[in-house]
C-alpha cells in the first residue's frame, strides 16, 4: 500500500469532500474523474500532504516518492533544457565518475590496493547496473524527443511558454520515475504525436499511476480502476473509463430498485398495520409488523447523477455546395511562415478536423478564414459562427446573463435563462460576472452563444477545453447530430473520432486532406511514417525471387486484412458502448458487455502491434 485515505473530510467552512476512503497500491493504474469544481485537485493535495484533512487520516508509505504534475505551473530553470533534465541523474554521474577514477587507480595499483580497488569497482558496477546509469543520457534524449523537445535541447528553459514549461515538468517527472506518479490533466498541452508517445511510455511505467483527466482515450488506454468524485462523495469502480460508465449506470439502477422494493414493503406493512391494529384477533400480528418497521434500516432514495448539459445546433437555410475555398495562399504568424502556396476547400455537410503539431498554425488558419481576406471565398448563404478557445470575446466585468442575452435581445428573459440552464449554467452561475466563472462555465456560456447563432457553418477552436466529461460527451452528441458544416481543432481524440468525416492535416507547411474518419487517418499515418526511405538500388538489386514476391504479396494482403478487422472492431466498440447504456439495469448483461469490451481492446492492441511489424 502506497497511500490510504480513511474517512477524510475537508472544506473551507463548508465541506468540499465528505467521508472519502480509498487506497493506492503498488503498480496500480487509476483514473480519477468528476465534474468541474467537484474537488479532485483537493483530493490530490490531501494525498500530497499539501492540505490537512479536517477529519479522518491520510497514511503514506514510509519514504514514499510521489511525483505530481499540476494543471498549471511548469518547470522553472535558467539552464538549458538538456542540463535541467540532466540534474535528475547527478547520482548516476557521480557513480560513473567514481568508477572511472577507481579503474584508473586500479591500472597502476599494487599490493593490497589491488584487492581493495577491485572490490570497489565490483560494487560500483553493481550499483550502476541496478540504476542503469550507463543509459541515462539515452533516457533523457528519448523523453525529450518524445515530448517534442528533440531539436530544442540547448534552449534556455526560462525563454519557453507556459505550456512548454508544463511539458518540461512532465519530462522531469518521467525521468525521476517516482513510485507514485500523479498527473492532473496531463494531456492539456500535448499535440497528438506527443500524446501517442506519452501513452506508450506510461503503458510500461513501473510505478503506480493516478490520473485525473478529461481525455477518454487516455483513461481507457492506461487505467484499470476508476475513482469518481460526485457531490463530495468518492466511489470506486473496477475498470477503465468506458467500463466505469456502464457500471455507474448499473449501480444507480440497482440502488433505485432496492429503494423501490423497500418502499413497496413498507407500504404493505403499514397498510396491514392500519387495517389490523384495532382488531383483537390480528393486533398481535400487526404489532409484529410495527416492530419490523421500527427495526428496518431505511434505504435512502439514490440521488440521480447530475444531468449533463444539453446542446442543439440548428440553422435556417442551407448554403451552396462549396462553403469555403481559398487557393494558393500563404499563412503567416507575425514573421513566421506557417503555410506555403496551399489550397483549402470545405464542402457543405463536411465535418473536418484540423490536426497538426503544436505551432503549425491550426488556430491561425481558422482566424484567417474569418478575416475577410480577399483570397478567402465564402459560399452563398453561408452563415459562420466561431468558437474561440480563449473565449476572449466576453467582457469579464459583464454579468453572465447580460453577456448572453445582450447578443440576442429578441429572446425573452425566460428563454435566455432556459438556454443557459440547458448548457449547465444555473441561477447561481448566471448572477456572477463573466470573470468569476470557471473555465468550464465560460466554455458553456460560449457554446450557448454558438448554438443560438443558428449558423450553418461552425468553426471551432478547441471547444472541449475546460469541459468535464459529461459536457464533452453532450457536445459531441450535439455536433454529430448537426446537419451543417464543421471545421474544428481539438486534441481530444475520442471527440475527433466521434465527429470527423474528413481530416485536414498541416504537414510541412501544406494542407493534406484524408477522406474518412480519424481511425483511417491514423492507420494511413502509421503506414506512411514507418515506411523506410527508398535507397538507391545497386545493379541487380531490383531482382526478387518468387519466394520474396510471394512474401511481399502476403504482407500487403495481411495489412488490408488488419485494416478491415480494426474498422470492424471500432464499429463493434461503438455498438457495445451504446448497448451498455441501454442495458444498464441488467447487471449480467452489463458484465458480459464489459468483458467483451476488454477482450475487444486487447485484440485491437495486438492487431496494431502486428500492423506495425508489417510496415
Q: What is the mean pLDDT of the segment spanning 314-327?
A: 95
The answer to whether residues 268 and 405 belong to one domain is no
pLDDT tens sequence across 128-171: 999 999 999 999 999 999 999 988 999 999 999 888 899 999 99
Q: Tell me the whole-structure pTM to 2 decimals.
A: 0.77
% helix, strand, coil for the chain, step of 5: 50, 20, 30
Helix (H, G, I), strand (E, B) or coil at 356: coil
pLDDT tens sequence across 190-224: 888 889 899 999 999 999 999 999 999 999 999 99
* CATH number of the domain residue 386 falls in: 3.40.50.300
Residue 226 in domain: no
The answer to whether residues 279 and 351 belong to one domain is no
Cell triple for 405:
442575452
pLDDT given at position 540: 45
CA dihedral 495, 497, 499, 505 (to 10 degrees): 100
Per-residue exposure over 167-177, b if at least 16 CB sit within 10 Å of its own CB, e if not:
bbbbbbbbbee
Question: How many Å from the N-terminal Cα to the C-terminal Cα in the chain?
Answer: 43
Q: What is the mean pLDDT of the segment spanning 370-392?
A: 93
**E strand residue ranges, 470-524:** 485-489, 502-507, 510-515
pLDDT tens sequence across 508-552: 999 999 988 888 888 887 776 654 444 444 444 445 567 777 777
The answer to whether residues 418 and 504 belong to one domain is yes
pLDDT given at position 552: 78
Q: Is the pLDDT of residue 453 over 70?
A: yes
Residue 401 in domain: yes
The answer to whether residues 475 and 498 belong to one domain is yes
The answer to whether residues 480 and 602 belong to one domain is no
Domain of 450 in residue numbering reads as 322-527
Q: What angle do CA 424, 426, 429 make, to 5 degrees?
A: 105
pLDDT given at position 175: 96
pLDDT band at 32; cut points 50, 70, 90: very high
The answer to whether residues 264 and 353 belong to one domain is no
Residue 489 in domain: yes
pLDDT band at 391; cut points 50, 70, 90: confident
Give the relative orientation of helices 587-614 and 546-582 as an angle to the nearest 10 degrees.
Answer: 160
Number of domains in the chain: 3
Residue 387 in domain: yes
Residue 485 in domain: yes
The answer to whether residues 348 and 401 belong to one domain is yes
The answer to whether residues 267 and 350 belong to one domain is no
| Domain end residue (candidates: 464, 492, 527) | 527
* Mean per-residue pLDDT of the chain: 89
The answer to whether residues 352 and 452 belong to one domain is yes
Residue 85 in domain: no
Q: Is the pLDDT of residue 462 over 90?
A: yes
pLDDT given at position 615: 59
Residue 476 in domain: yes
The answer to whether residues 352 and 480 belong to one domain is yes
The answer to whether residues 451 and 582 belong to one domain is no
The answer to whether residues 347 and 442 belong to one domain is yes
Q: Which residues contact 517 (CB under 8 A, 6 or more apart)?
A: 497, 500, 501, 503
Residue 311 in domain: no
Amino acid at each position: 500500500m502506497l497511500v490510504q485515505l480513511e474517512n477524510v473530510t475537508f472544506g473551507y467552512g463548508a465541506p468540499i469532500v465528505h467521508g472519502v476512503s480509498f487506497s493506492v497500491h503498488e503498480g496500480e493504474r487509476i483514473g480519477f474523474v468528476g465534474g468541474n469544481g467537484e474537488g479532485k485537485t483537493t483530493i490530490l493535495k490531501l494525498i500530497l500532504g499539501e492540505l490537512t484533512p479536517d477529519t479522518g487520516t491520510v497514511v503514506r508509505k514510509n519514504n514514499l516518492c510521489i511525483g505530481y504534475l499540476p494543471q498549471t505551473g511548469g518547470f522553472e530553470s535558467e539552464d538549458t533544457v538538456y542540463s535541467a533534465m540532466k540534474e535528475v541523474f547527478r547520482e548516476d554521474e557521480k557513480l560513473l565518475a567514481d568508477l572511472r577514477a577507481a579503474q584508473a587507480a586500479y591500472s597502476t595499483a599494487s599490493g593490497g590496493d589491488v584487492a581493495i580497488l577491485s572490490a570497489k569497482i565490483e560494487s560500483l558496477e553493481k550499483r550502476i547496473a541496478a540504476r542503469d546509469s550507463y543509459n541515462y543520457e539515452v533516457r533523457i534524449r528519448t523523453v525529450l524527443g518524445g515530448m517534442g523537445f528533440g531539436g530544442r535541447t540547448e534552449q534556455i528553459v526560462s525563454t519557453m511558454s507556459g505550456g512548454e514549461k508544463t511539458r518540461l515538468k512532465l519530462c522531469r517527472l518521467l525521468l525521476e520515475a517516482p513510485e507514485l506518479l500523479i498527473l492532473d490533466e496531463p494531456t492539456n498541452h500535448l499535440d497528438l504525436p506527443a500524446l501517442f508517445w506519452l501513452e506508450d511510455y506510461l503503458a510500461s511505467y513501473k510505478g503506480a499511476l493516478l490520473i485525473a483527466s478529461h481525455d477518454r482515450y487516455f483513461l481507457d488506454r492506461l487505467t484499470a480502476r476508476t475513482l469518481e468524485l460526485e457531490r463530495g462523495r468518492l466511489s470506486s469502480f473496477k475498470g477503465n473509463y468506458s467500463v466505469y460508465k456502464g457500471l455507474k449506470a448499473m449501480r444507480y439502477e440497482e440502488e433505485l430498485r432496492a429503494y423501490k422494493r423497500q418502499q413497496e414493503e413498507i407500504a404493505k406493512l403499514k397498510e396491514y398495520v392500519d387495517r389490523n391494529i384495532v382488531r383483537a384477533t390480528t393486533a398481535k400480528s400487526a404489532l409484529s409488523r410495527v416492530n419490523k418497521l421500527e427495526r428496518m434500516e431505511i434505504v435512502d432514495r439514490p440521488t440521480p447523477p447530475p444531468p449533463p448539459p444539453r446542446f442543439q445546433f440548428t440553422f435556417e437555410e442551407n448554403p451552396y455546395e462549396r462553403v469555403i475555398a481559398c487557393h494558393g495562399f500563404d499563412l503567416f504568424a507575425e514573421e513566421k511562415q506557417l503555410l506555403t502556396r496551399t489550397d483549402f476547400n470545405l464542402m457543405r455537410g463536411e465535418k473536418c478536423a484540423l490536426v497538426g503539431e503544436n505551432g503549425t498554425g491550426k488556430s491561425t488558419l481558422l482566424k484567417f478564414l474569418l478575416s475577410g481576406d480577399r483570397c478567402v471565398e465564402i459560399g452563398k448563404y453561408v452563415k459562420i459562427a466561431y468558437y474561440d478557445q480563449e473565449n476572449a470575446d466576453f467582457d469579464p466585468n459583464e454579468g453572465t446573463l447580460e453577456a448572453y442575452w445582450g447578443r440576442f435581445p429578441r429572446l425573452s428573459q425566460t428563454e435566455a435563462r432556459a438556454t443557459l440552464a440547458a448548457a449547465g449554467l444555473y441561477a447561481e452561475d448566471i448572477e456572477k460576472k463573466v470573470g468569476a466563472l470557471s473555465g468550464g462555465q465560460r466554455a458553456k456560456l460560449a457554446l450557448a452563444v454558438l448554438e443560438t447563432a443558428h449558423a450553418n457553418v461552425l468553426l471551432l477552436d478547441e471547444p472541449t477545453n475546460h469541459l468535464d466529461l459529461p459536457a464533452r460527451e453532450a457536445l459531441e452528441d450535439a455536433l454529430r447530430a448537426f446537419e451543417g458544416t464543421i471545421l474544428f481543432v481539438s486534441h481530444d481524440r475520442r471527440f475527433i473520432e466521434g465527429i470527423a468525416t474528413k481530416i485536414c492535416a498541416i504537414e510541412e507547411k501544406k494542407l493534406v486532406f484524408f477522406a474518412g474518419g480519424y481511425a483511417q487517418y491514423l492507420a494511413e499515418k502509421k503506414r506512411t511514417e514507418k515506411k523506410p526511405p527508398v535507397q538507391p538500388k545497386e545493379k541487380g538489386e531490383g531482382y526478387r525471387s518468387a519466394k520474396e514476391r510471394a512474401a511481399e504479396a502476403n504482407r500487403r494482403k495481411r495489412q488490408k486484412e488488419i485494416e478491415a478487422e480494426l474498422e470492424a472492431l471500432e464499429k463493434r466498440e461503438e455498438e457495445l458502448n451504446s448497448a451498455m447504456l441501454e442495458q444498464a439495469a441488467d447487471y449480467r448483461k452489463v458484465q458480459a458487455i464489459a468483458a467483451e469490451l476488454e477482450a475487444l481492446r486487447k485484440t485491437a492492441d495486438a492487431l496494431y502491434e502486428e500492423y506495425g511489424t508489417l510496415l
